[in-house]
Each structure stands twice: as C-alpha cells, then as structure tokens.
Amino acid sequence: MKFVTSMLTTSVFALSSVAAFAQSDYPTRQIELMVGFSAGGNLDILARQAEPFLEKHMGGADIVVINRPGAGGALMQTQLAGAEPDGYTLGLLSMPGVVTVLFGGDVDYEIDDFEYSGTFTFEPHSIMVGTDTPYETPEDLVAAARENPGTITIGGAGIGSAAHLAVKVLERAADVEFAFIPSPGSAEMQNQVMGGHIEGGVTTISSSYTRHQENQARVIGTLSSERTTVAPEIATFGEAGYEVEWGALRGIAAPKGTPQEVMDKITEAVRLTMEDPEFQEIAAQNNMLLTFMDGAQFEASVRKIHSDLEEIWADEPWIEQ
Amino acid sequence: MIEDLIGAGFALMTWSNVAAMVFGTLIGIVIGALPGLTTTIGLAILIPLSFGLSPLVALGLMAGLYNGSMYGGAIPAILLNIPGTPAAIATTFDGYPMTEQGNAASALRVACFSSAVGGFSSALALLLLAPPLSLVTLAFGPPEYFWIATFGLVSIAVLIGGDPIKGMISALLGLLISSVGMDTVTGRIRFSFGRLELVDGVNIVVVLIGLFALPRVLQMAEDAVTRGVRVSDLKIGRGQSTPFPIAHLIPTWIRSSVIGIMVGILPGAGGNIAAFLSYNEAKRSDRDPESFGKGNPKGVAAAEAGNSSDNAASMIPTLTLGVPGNAIAALIMGGLLVHGLQPGPSLFRDNGEIVYGFVLQMMITSVLLFALGGMIATRIFAQVLRVPQVMLAPMIVALMCLGLYTVNNSQFELFMMIGFGVFGYILMRMQFPLPPLILGVILGGMAEQNLRTALLISRGDWWHLLASPISKTIAGLVVLVLLVPLYRHVRERQSEALKNG
Amino acid sequence: MQRLKNRDVICAAVLVLFSMAAWMQAIALPARASLFPRLEIALLFGLSVVYLVRSLWRAQPVQSAEPFFRNLGRLLVALVLISCYVFIFPRIGFFTATFVFIPVFSFVIGFRDAKTLLLGAVLFTVSAWVVFVVLLGRRLPPEALLSAIFGGGA
C-alpha cells in the first residue's frame, strides 16, 4: 500500500516538473487560474469570461479556471503564495479582500508573496439609503452623522469585510461616526435597507444601482473620485470633498519569483484581452467596469491600501483579540 | 410576477430543461423504489453533482427527484410490502392487500395518479401563496427573523420523533456546528482550530451528504445483502386489473391534498406524517371504515396523495423565509445555496425567472408521473430491486465523492464528510433525530446574526426583540410549541391514572 | 434491557464531557463573539445532564433490542476502504480509483460473483465518465496512472 502510494506520488511529481524549466516558449502546458470563491460568484464569472480571451492572446495556451473557495479567498491566496513560481499556477485576486483578510486572522501569506500582473476591473463601492430617509447627497449623510455621531445605521457584509472597511475609510475621511450593522451578505443588507430596518448600506455600485433604478432604494454616491460609466448620474464622495477611493479591483497575480519574462507575457495577454472588442461587449453586458492597470500599478495600489489599513488597525483595531 | 412566470415558462422549454425534468423524475422513481435509498439520500448525492449545471437544469433534476421518489416509494410498498421511503409506509396498508388479491396493477395505477394529483395541487399552492408571502417578508426585520428561525428550530426539535430531549440536543449540536468559522458581527474566527478550510464555516453540503448518505452506506456494508429481490417475488398481475375508480377517488384526493399542503407549510412534519394523517382521515370519514387495510383503493389514494401534496408546499416557508420545514426542504435549500440563490424576498425579486421556473418544474414533474409511471415503465423500475445492495454501496460513495470534490476541489472536505458520516451513524444508532441537526446548521447563523443585529440596532435594548406585533406573535408560538411535550406528558399521566384507577 | 440502558448512559456522559470541553474552547474567545456559542453550550450541558439523569433513573422503553453494531467488522472494513479511496482518488484520478474501489469494496464485504463485480465496475465507471466528463465537461483530477502507462493523452 505504502509502496504504491509513494510510487504514485513520485510519478505525479515527475510529471509536474518536466516543463518547469522551459520558460522561453511559455506556456507549454496547462495553466491553472485559481479563484478563491465559489463558482457563480462575481470573481468566478470574470475568470470564466476572460479565460478564452486570455488563451487566445497567449498564443492558444490552455488555461483552466479552478475554484478554491475558503476563508474569503485566503485559502486560495495561501496556496498561490506557496505554489511553484513557474507561471503555471496563477490566481485571480480581488482587492481589497486580499489585504483585509490579513488583519486579525490566522492567515500566513503576505502581499510580498506575489508577483502582480494586469487588472481587469475596478468597481467602486457606493452608499445606498432607504427611499424614506431624508438623505439625497453625500453631504446630507455626512452632515447628519456629524449632528448625531454613531446613530445613523449603515449596513454591509460582516466586520473586516470590504464593505465594513469602506465605512471606516469614509468615517476617517469625513471625520464622522456611523453605527455599522454587519449582515451576512449584500443581499440581506439590501433587504434591511428596503424594509426600513436600517437607514443605509454599502455595496458595490453595480448591485446598488439596480435597486436605485427600480426605486427601491436611493444611491447617494460612490466612494470614488470619478463617476462610473454604468451610473454616470450618481454623485461621488470625492466631488463632495471627501477623499476616498474604495472599490473592488480585480487582477491576476503569480507566486513570488515567477520569471519577469513570464509575467510580461501574462500582463500583455491581459492588456490585449481588455482591448478585445468582443470582451468589451461581454463586459458591458455584465455591467463590468473595465480598468486596466499593469503589474506595477496594481502592486502600488495593493501596497497603498495595505498601508492605509495598517494605519487604521494601529489606531482602532476592528477585530477584538 | 406574471412576466417572470411567462419568462420562466419559456425558459423551461429548452431541451436541456425538459431532459432534466424527465431524467430527474426517472431517477426519483428509481431511488424511491429502492428500499434504503430515500428522497433525502438521493438529494444529498444529487446536489453536489448538479453543481456547475445551469440553476434551472439543476432545480429541474431536484424537483423531478422529489416528486418521482414520492411515487417510487409506493412500488415496493405495493408489490412487496416494503415501503421504499418512510413516506410510503401508509401505502402498504392497502397497497399490499390489493396485490395479494391480484390487483397489483390497479394499485400501482391508483398510486401513480394520486401522487400526480397530490403533487400538482401542492405546486399550485406554492405558486399562489409564495409570491405574495415573499412581499410581506420585507417588513420582517432582524427581531422577526430571529423569532422565525427560533420557531423553525424549536418546532422541529420538539415535534419530530418521540423524544424532545434528544431532538433538542440534536438541534443544539447543529447550532454549534453552525458557529464554526468567521463571526460576521465581530470578525472573529471561532472554533477553526487554525484550519483555513474552516474559516468560512462548515460547508452545508458536506454535512448533508455526510449525515444523510454515508450512515446508510455503512449500514449496507454491515448488512451485506448480496442478493437482490428475485424476479419471481414480484407479482405484477397482467390483465386482471379491475376498472379504475377515478370518480370515487376525487373526494379522497381533495381531502388528502389539503391535509398534505397544511402539513407541508408547518415546520416539523414531513411526507410520512402527511400520509398517515390523510390515511386516517380517509378511513374515519368513509362510510365503510372496516374495508380499509383490506385492499381499499381509497387507502392507497389517500396515502399517496397525502405524501406527494406535502412536497411543493414544504417549499413555501423555505423559499419565502429561508426556513425549511423538514429535512427534504432543508436539502433543497442547500441546493439553492450551492447555486448562489439566497431564499427570502431577494430570491423572488432578483431571480424571479429561476424561482418561478422551479415552481413550474414542481408542477410539471408531478404531471410527468402520468406518463412515466405507466405499467410498462413501472415493470422496468421494479427490476432495480434486483441490484445487490453491496454493489450499490461503493457506487453511492463514488458519486458522493465525485460531486463533493468537483464543487470545491478540497480533500479536506472529503475527510470531513467521512467524519460527519460516522457522527451521523452514531446518532442514528442512538435514535437521535437528524433533521433538527441539519436545521440547526442552517438556521443557527440566521438566529444568531439576527439576534445580534437587532441588539446592535436597538443599542442593547432586549425589549426591541418583542417590539412589533409580528415578533410577539411568533414568540408566543415558540412558547406554545415548547409546551407541547409537557402537555403530552400530563395527558399520558392522566390516561395512565385512568387505567390504574 | 440492561445493555440498552448503559448505552444511553455512555452517550449522555460523552455529551456532558463534550459540552465541558466546548465551554473551555468558547471562553478563550472574546465575550461578544462567544455569547451565542456559550448560550448553546450551556443549554447543551443542561439537556445532557437531564438525559444522563433520566437514563440512570429508568431504562428507556426498548423499541428494538438489536445490538449497537450490526456487524462491527464489516463496518470498520467499509470505513477503512472509504478513507483509502478518498485519500487516493485526488492523486491517481477518479476513474482509475473508482474502477478498483467498487469491486474491491463489494468483494471484501462479501459479494463474490466475479462476473457481476467486473461488469458493475465497468458499467459504472464508463457511464460516470460519459455523463460527467463528456456530457457535462466536469474537470476531475488527472488520471496519473493512466497517463503514466499510456504516456499522456488520458
């Protein structure tokens, strides 16, 4: 039994290391693109829609999307950090999730464990309020919060989530305090806002905007400086003078030590995918906000958010130890 | 609503969706016909396997399996006096005597028609009641949801099985399983023992397969039945069937459907209880109660219409509130969650086409029984009884693993499933009911989350939990349900005292 | 009768011990995060004690006098085989492992009809492959053994 197992594992290793040294003609075998969330989620949909275009623009490479959900993506990111840096194991990262899970948990990877490649989308978070609340603009909400600190109820996915930290970042930018009401997910938060059980909530613009269009809730602004292409009439908190830039940034990363040559090939494939009119059409159908950043810009953005969060954590750690 | 319904109707008219419903119903009949394989086991195996299919195809398979298995259970019940599923126990009362009198074919046909009628009326109730109810639930805030979750949990723990203590222990174990992982209200990770796999909590599908399917596999291995049923034991009469008494059965069908629908909506009971209640009611109200148990077709009709009309109705609280009323509904809810469909008002709002599609599928698959439950087909289904159980066991294991592994590519979950299987086996042997445990896992998060959100909104004021009239009503119901065992106890004492005195 | 009573006593005692162990785990967490688990564990402890006292007090009415294990030997063999299967198939591929697992399991448990065993294994493996790989395009672990023997392709 033991003999059989060891024999089998050796043969598996032998198989996987064959192509590891041939980089100039990368890729020569199947590339695994890991997604840290279940199939059917936003990130998974993006991966599966981009996959055929990446294959096309990487010279007919064979890419397969694999779901490794767990711990808000941390399970996949830990695996990615420990994977062979040969360009055959890639991950689709979602910021700020990659950074937020590092605080207060048992996660043992660092943002330095990855090489960053191109990004696909940036979708800002937004604040929506119930239709029977008096708030129409970002200024209204901030003024109300200033008058009654810590009483205006704002919902969003659990403590430490992107939505929760969005509220934290806004609180610091506008120097006010809200009462944050954590909920299991965005759908539950939206029900609570629409039912009038809480005053407002935070979620990405594409999901809040649907509620806005159907008059079930009102989106008062996005947490960004520039207006979005899907919802151009929605104001931004940046315009109102509060400096926030908070949203979901999604791009590809590889384990640290992946050769530059390989990284360049991947980034180029992402760039060409983004320019592909067919992909742009699919993205428009799915309300995706395409934003291309190269590896350096992506990494800079990750580092910026990480240092911002470290600052907040040092001031007021949001998870009780 | 109407647009969604029409849209769903068109969406169902694709080949893959039609195939899913036909196929699901066929698998359901086979699973129901095999003694030892029940609706819950079938669903537990199917749900992870259906992952990756489009949601409507997956739900079509589930709807077909649900309706099909309710009829399938009647086949061995009638032919061999062995109920294929617990819900078919009442079918044996009159079904087997009919077979002994040479009326097997007639009994099977009554069973098939009754199942179809019961399933259809139940789906109609789902279609008419669920959408308006889902709009009302928007008024439910955290306190109301807390009480609903508590009510669902308490009633299934107390009312199912004979022993409320074991039921409540079972529910509490489920609650503890649900507390593993990230606590959304504080962001703290609880009871994960340093495993990243547990940070998101225990995967409900792992618990479902482990608890419902694996203990049965272990039992099959223990029993080591190497022979299937011999063909000569199957007494399907040819040509001697008596004229089909449809007109006589209509009142029975109506009565049984109403009973089944009510049982389905209320939490705690399942198809077997619906079948017993409608059988008793049919017997009580008949002009000739003595003929029941001696091969009266009305007995078969009452039992089968009763257990099938529980089906879609049990989805009413599941789809509108996210509170499944019994184990099967809990499994289907697990299936919805796998496909990213969160029950509650948002389900009807955001996924109208899918949810109405599912309602229609419940309706269509029950009608499909007319076509698929015919005499020739039933004779073929009866042949599955010949498969030796020892070969069935490893095949079930392979299907469980195939399904689970393709969902998350996690070997950790496979071992966790074996762990839950052993756990479920022990609980089964100790006669702990398993449905409260599953409900505990599903409703635990809902109860805790809503209790704490309510307290956050009210800033620590516990009276906020009883502020609205809806909260007060449901809280009152919880207290009433908790008093049921006490009431039973007192009544038993009284009747004992009467006997002794 | 006596045996059945003991069984409940053991089960109840295990539950009491389990709730105490769980309590120790829960108090290590911050109070706000462990409020609900503590509530559950306290209730579980209370009910387990009631269960224990009740089973010491009176034997439960015996519904079935069957022994706890119907056949402990076969149960353990089945568990070991299932664990091996779960351990191996992600490494050597689902279809290779399943093709071996089905006949081995049935044979060890006591089904000795070689023809049926082989036929069952072949039919099941092939139909699983057709349904899940060909029709549904499901991705399964690579068949390492097959590709080692036949040189890729599989």
pLDDT tens for B410-430 read 899 999 999 999 999 999 889
Task: Tell me what pLDDT residue C1 has.
Answer: 45
Tell whether A94 is covered by a domain: yes
Task: Tell me what pLDDT residue A13 has.
Answer: 45
Q: Is the backbone of residue B434 left (phi > 0), alpha (psi -120 to 50) or beta?
A: alpha
- Radius of gyration (Cα) for chain B, nearest Å? 23
- DSSP strand pairing (A200-204 vs A114-129): antiparallel
Report CB contact under 8 Å: C71, B406: no
Tell whether A236 is covered by a domain: no
pLDDT band at A286 (very low <50, low <70, confident <90, very high): confident
Query: Do the beta carbons of residue A249 and residue A304 sit within 8 Å?
Result: no
Whether residues A76 and A215 fall in one domain: no
Number of independent structural domains in chain A: 2
Whether residues A137 and A215 fall in one domain: yes
Whether residues A74 and A100 fall in one domain: yes
Selected for mutation to probe chain A from B51, B56, B191, B196 (highest A CB count within 10 Å) is: B196
Closest Cα in chain A to B199 = A71
Subunits with 3+ Cβ pairs within 8 Å of A are B, C
Task: Tell me what pLDDT residue A124 has.
Answer: 94
**Mean per-residue pLDDT for A268-277?**
94
pLDDT band at B501 (very low <50, low <70, confident <90, very high): low
Tell whether A320 is covered by a domain: no
Torsion of the alpha carbons at B185, B187, B193 and B195, rounded to the nearest 10: 120
Q: Where are the alpha helices (DSSP H) in B199-270?
A: 204-212, 214-223, 246-265
Structural domain boundaries in chain B = 2-500
SS3 B198: helix
Largest CA distance in chain A: 73
* A9 vs C contacts (CB less than 8 Å): 91
Task: Tell me what pLDDT residue B287 has.
Answer: 87
Whether residues A35 and A49 fall in one domain: yes
Tell whether A4 is covered by a domain: no
CATH number where A197 lies? 3.40.190.10
Tell whether A9 is covered by a domain: no
Whether residues A50 and A97 fall in one domain: yes
In tens, the pLDDT along B386-404 reads 778 888 899 999 998 988 8
CATH number where A291 lies? 3.40.190.150
Query: Do the beta carbons of residue C39 and residue C86 sit within 8 Å?
Result: no
Chain B 315-354, residues with CB within 8 Å of chain C CB atoms:
none
In tens, the pLDDT along B284-327 reads 888 888 889 888 999 999 999 999 999 999 999 999 988 887 88
Residues 6+ apart with CB under 8 A from B473: none
Does pLDDT of B155 surpass 60? yes
Q: B227: burial class by Cβ within 10 Å (0-12, 13-18, 19+)?
A: exposed
Q: In angstroms, rounded to a whole number, what is the distance separating the alpha carbons of residues A14 and A19?
A: 10
If one compares B384 and B356, the residue with the highest pLDDT of the two is: B356
Say if B164 is an interface residue toward chain A (CB within 8 Å).
no
Q: Which residues of A touch B (CB under 8 A)?
A: 38-41, 66-72, 74-75, 78, 104-107, 153, 157-161, 164, 179, 181-185, 187-188, 190-192, 194-195, 197-198, 318-320
Subunits with 3+ Cβ pairs within 8 Å of B are A, C
Task: Tell me what pLDDT residue A45 has.
Answer: 84
* B199 vs C contacts (CB less than 8 Å): none
Tell whether A116 is covered by a domain: yes
Distance, C-alpha A199 to centroid of its chain: 26
Q: In angstroms, rounded to a whole number, what is the distance separating the alpha carbons of residues B427 and B425?
A: 5
Of the spans A236-245, B97-106, B191-200, which averages the highest pLDDT? A236-245
Subunits with 3+ Cβ pairs within 8 Å of C are A, B
Tell whether A17 is covered by a domain: no
- DSSP strand pairing (A63-67 vs A31-35): parallel
In tens, the pLDDT along C73-122 reads 999 999 999 999 999 999 899 999 999 999 999 999 888 888 889 998 99
* C85 vs B contacts (CB less than 8 Å): 397-398, 401
- CB count within 10 Å of CB A119 equals 25
Tell whether A8 is covered by a domain: no
Q: Cα distance from C29 to chain A (closest Cα, Å)?
A: 8
Name the residue range of residue A209's domain: 124-222
**Mean per-residue pLDDT for A275-292?**
89
Whether residues A137 and A63 fall in one domain: no
**Mean per-residue pLDDT for A255-282?**
94
Whether residues A167 and A186 fall in one domain: yes
**Mean per-residue pLDDT for A272-282?**
93
Size of interface A-C (CB pairs under 8 A): 23
Main-chain dihedrals φ then ψ at residue A41, nearest 5 degrees: -80, 170
pLDDT band at C60 (very low <50, low <70, confident <90, very high): low
Say if B221 is an interface residue toward chain C (CB within 8 Å).
yes
Whether residues A47 and A186 fall in one domain: no
Q: Which of A158-167, B335-344, C94-103 has the lowest mean pLDDT?
A: B335-344
What is the pLDDT of chain A when averaged over all its residues?
87
Whether residues A130 and A104 fall in one domain: no
**Mean per-residue pLDDT for B441-453?**
89
Main-chain dihedrals φ then ψ at residue B396, nearest 5 degrees: -60, -45
Task: Tell me what pLDDT residue A16 has.
Answer: 44
Report CB contact under 8 Å: B197, A187: no
Report CB contact under 8 Å: A64, C91: no
Does pLDDT of A287 surpass 80? no
